[in-house]
Structures are given as structure tokens and as C-alpha cells.
């Protein structure tokens, strides 16, 4: 856990994430003062895993969300307000398949960031391959390749305390709006920070993610939002993905049909 003037809280929205929830908490407990999880009703043991970690003393707050609807933005806005009570210097909303990493010590990286703008932390998307060790349960050790480039770059928003009262989170946490103007708040791209992103981990996991993503975004699907869930739902409506499909899904995750497919790069984070 960090112990410095630069304190960070992480908020996340989870449901059925048993294969990665513990790794998410253990990883971020090394760098955050508080991890707040909005937990929807889960059927795969995610709640039991998080409860166990909390009892072990991890800085974890679990906020149950009984709503049957996918309401990520609203739920995280509520968690954001809870996180503000700890008066951290930064709040970082993350999905549980995203792991904050830094090319330099995190305290140094945070000290160089502007305090009056949203810092955008880019994805580095990791890709399962048939050569991965199926016996390795630690996703961060098993999946060791990533896309060599992010053809269509996505970033997540790290929010400084000076903007807490003005910030309105959006679905996906790629954009933060000003409460008054409803326009995007000013942003600053990070060169030192990145998010190791593990959206595809197994056939069972990605099928569940596709179904959840499509049911949650179906009414909002467009050329700009939700299109990848629509396309994946149609592709695997009648057959589960094979190993080669998992590689392809991750390589082309959130890309459009006419985007080029990036190469693979060996770059383990553990």
C-alpha cells in the first residue's frame, strides 16, 4: 500500500469475475489506499472471494448493488462519492480486467501529473495464445503477450482531487464530463502510466462477458458505442470460441471491421 502525500483510491464495478477478482485486489492493494467495489449479484463466487480478502485485511470496501440492470456509470458515481470521503489525492475508476502499471515508481509518476486535468491512462491489451500454460491460474502470469500497438487507442481517466466536485463519470470511464457544462473535462495523456488490460481470459469468461456486455449495451449500440458486443454476440451465438478464436478476439478487441490487426508482442508484466 502507498504511504505518501499522494494517495489514490480505486473504484470498480463487478459481477461474475471469480477468475480475476483476487488478482485485481492484491495487485492494486500495493499502490492504492482504498479499493471500493460495487458488486452486482454474482453466481460464480466473486462475492465470497472479495469477502475473504476483506477479512484478511485488504483495504477493500464492498458496496452491494442489487439492481438487475447494468448501471455502471450511476453505480460508480455513487462509489465515487463514497471514495471522496477518504479525501484521496486521486480516484481511478477501473474495470476488474485492468491493472495499473508504471514505467517508473508510482509516487514519482503521480507527482509529475497535473492537478487540474484528467490524466488519461492508455490500455495495453493482453492476448491469450495456444502456447499459454493452462495450469497457471494467475492470469497475469499465464497471459504474457500483448498487442504490439493499440490501433484504436483507449484510455481510462485518473481524476485529481481538484476536479472531484465537478466530475461526472461515463459508462466505460473513458470520458469524464463537467457537472455544469456537460462537456469533457480537460485531459492530459500519461507517458509513464498504463493499464495492462486482460479482456479475454477463457472461453467461459468471454462468453459470459459477451452476454453481459450485449444485454447491458443493446439499447445503446451504435457505430461508436457497444458495437464490439453486438458483433461478438452474433459471432458466437451458436458456437463457443476455440483457442484460436480467443487470440483473435483479444487481438481485435474493440476494433472495427476495417481496422488492421496488430501483431503480438511478448511483454509479461510478471
**Cα separation, 217 vs 212, whole angstroms:** 9
pLDDT at 4 over 60: no
β partners of residue 264: 147
Max intra-chain CA distance, the chain = 53
Work out the angle between the directed axes of helices 46-55 and 21-28 (0-180°, nearest 10). Answer: 30
**Any residues with CB less than 8 A from the CB of 249 and at least 6 apart, and which?**
200, 206, 232, 241
**Cα separation, 158 vs 224, whole angstroms:** 22
DSSP 32-92: -SEEEEEE---SSSHHHHHHHHHHTT-SEEEEE---SS--HHHHHHHHHHHHHTT--SEEE
**pLDDT of 1:** 44
The set of cell numbers assigned to 93 is 475508476
**Cα separation, 120 vs 118, whole angstroms:** 6
**pLDDT of 182:** 92
**Cα separation, 235 vs 230, whole angstroms:** 9
Q: Which domains, ranges and CATH numbers included, belong to the chain?
A: 8-197 (3.90.550.10)
pLDDT at 2 over 50: no
The whole model's pTM is what? 0.87
Give the residue carrying C-alpha cell 476495417: 258
CA angle 151, 198, 26 (to 5 degrees): 140
Please check whether residue 79 is in contact with residue 104, taking contact to mean a CB–CB distance below 8 angstroms: no
pLDDT tens digits along 175-193: 889 999 999 999 999 989 9
Write down the mean pLDDT value for the chain. 87
Averaged pLDDT, 82-104: 92
pLDDT at 218 over 80: no
Averaged pLDDT, 229-244: 79
**pLDDT of 216:** 60
**pLDDT of 80:** 87
> Three-state SS for 26?
helix
The DSSP output letter for 112 is T
Residue 224 banded pLDDT, cuts 50, 70, 90: low
pLDDT at 124 over 90: yes
CB atoms within 10 A of CB 102: 16
pLDDT tens digits along 15-52: 889 999 999 999 999 999 999 999 888 888 999 999 99
Residue 5 banded pLDDT, cuts 50, 70, 90: low
153, 143, 139, 146: which is closest to 265 by C-alpha?
146
**Cα separation, 230 vs 195, whole angstroms:** 25
| 73 or 2: which leads in pLDDT | 73
Amino acid at each position: 500500500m502507498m504511504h505518501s502525500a499522494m494517495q489514490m483510491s480505486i473504484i470498480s464495478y463487478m459481477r461474475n469475475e471469480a477468475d480475476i477478482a483476487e488478482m485485481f485486489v492484491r495487485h492494486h492493494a500495493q499502490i492504492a489506499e482504498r479499493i471500493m467495489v460495487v458488486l452486482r449479484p454474482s453466481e460464480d463466487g466473486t462475492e465470497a472471494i472479495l469477502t475473504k480478502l476483506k477479512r484478511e485485511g485488504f483495504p477493500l470496501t464492498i458496496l452491494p448493488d442489487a439492481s438487475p440492470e447494468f448501471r455502471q456509470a450511476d453505480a460508480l458515481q455513487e462509489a465515487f462519492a463514497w471514495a471522496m470521503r477518504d479525501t484521496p489525492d486521486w480516484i481511478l475508476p477501473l474495470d476488474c480486467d485492468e491493472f495499473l502499471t508504471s514505467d517508473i515508481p508510482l509516487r514519482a509518476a503521480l507527482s509529475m501529473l497535473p492537478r487540474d486535468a484528467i490524466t488519461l491512462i492508455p490500455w495495453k491489451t493482453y492476448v491469450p495464445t495456444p502456447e499459454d500454460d493452462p495450469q497457471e491460474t494467475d492470469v497475469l502470469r499465464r497471459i504474457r503477450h500483448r498487442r504490439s500497438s493499440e490501433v484504436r487507442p483507449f484510455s481510462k481517466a485518473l481524476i485529481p482531487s481538484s476536479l472531484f466536485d465537478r466530475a461526472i463519470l461515463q459508462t466505460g470511464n473513458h470520458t469524464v464530463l463537467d457537472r455544469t457544462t456537460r462537456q469533457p473535462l480537460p485531459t492530459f495523456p500519461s507517458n509513464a502510466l498504463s493499464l495492462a488490460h486482460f479482456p479475454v481470459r477463457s472461453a467461459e469468461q468471454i462468453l459470459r462477458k459477451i452476454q453481459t456486455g450485449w444485454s447491458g449495451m443493446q439499447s445503446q449500440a451504435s457505430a461508436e458505442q457497444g458495437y464490439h458486443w453486438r458483433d461478438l454476440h452474433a459471432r458466437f451465438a451458436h458456437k463457443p470460441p476455440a483457442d484460436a478464436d480467443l487470440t483473435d478476439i483479444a487481438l481485435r478487441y474493440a476494433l472495427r471491421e476495417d481496422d488492421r490487426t496488430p501483431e503480438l508482442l511478448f511483454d509479461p508484466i510478471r
